Structure 1
């Protein structure tokens, strides 16, 4: 697997996110309260809201537009809502963060 360096874990606050712009689209990279790091497409499956601007709680994010809750682990909408976003593998080496190039190239049309 080919990995792209995207910064360090310190670039993302606890319970926060950053948006990484790639040629294949925007990726939201999240850091949970217990230092887990997840990456998903930066658009809510409901109305395309910017998930990187949402509220992180546990291993989920709430979309800032219409309060849909998306699992950071699976990319699936939680509760009664239906839909999903692509998850992107993340690797942490020391303080450095990487996302998988192959996952970005395989973006669903």
Structure 2
């Protein structure tokens, strides 16, 4: 059975915006797209450690605010000429609440 953590209402995250969730393993950026899909990624860009939660969400991508690296919200993979990726976490909306998989958060520390 998967343990899900309720991080708040979908309405707490602006469309094409993000919310930062702090865990003992580090910060997770939870993004909401214009069509109300949610995605969760490690908040640190692998390039210079920029806070992805402060980036620009466009479609199913986010652009790092420091040096404009673009990441696919589905895979965490850098796009274009940039190389690298960030860890993704399962996220979903249920009953208007945003839930993320607690098991994935715990496992990230062991990797």
Q: Same fold (TM over 0.5)?
A: yes
Q: Which residue of 2 aligns with 1:62?
A: 63
**C-alpha distance in 2, partners of 1:35/1:100?**
18
**C-alpha distance in 1, partners of 2:107/2:49?**
19
TM-score calculated relative to the size of structure 1 = 0.96
Instruction: Please report how far the alpha carbon of residue 86 of structure 1 lies from its aligned counterpart in structure 2 after TM superposition.
Output: 0.5
**C-alpha distance in 2, partners of 1:67/1:107?**
25
Q: Which residue of 1 aligns with 2:18?
A: 17
Instruction: Give yes or no for contact 2:39–2:92 (8 Å, CA) kept in 1.
Output: no
Instruction: Please report how far the alpha carbon of residue 107 of structure 1 lies from its aligned counterpart in structure 2 after TM superposition.
Output: 1.1
State yes or no: 1:32 paired with 2:33.
Answer: yes
Instruction: Please report how far the alpha carbon of residue 94 of structure 1 lies from its aligned counterpart in structure 2 after TM superposition.
Output: 1.2
Structure 1: gaps spanning 5 or more residues: none
Describe the SS at the equivalent of 2:65: coil
Instruction: Please report how far the alpha carbon of residue 68 of structure 1 lies from its aligned counterpart in structure 2 after TM superposition.
Output: 0.1
- Cα RMSD between the aligned structures? 0.9
- 1:19-98 to structure 2, matched below 5 A, reads 19-98=20-99
Alignment: residue pair count: 109
**C-alpha distance in 1, partners of 2:77/2:31?**
15
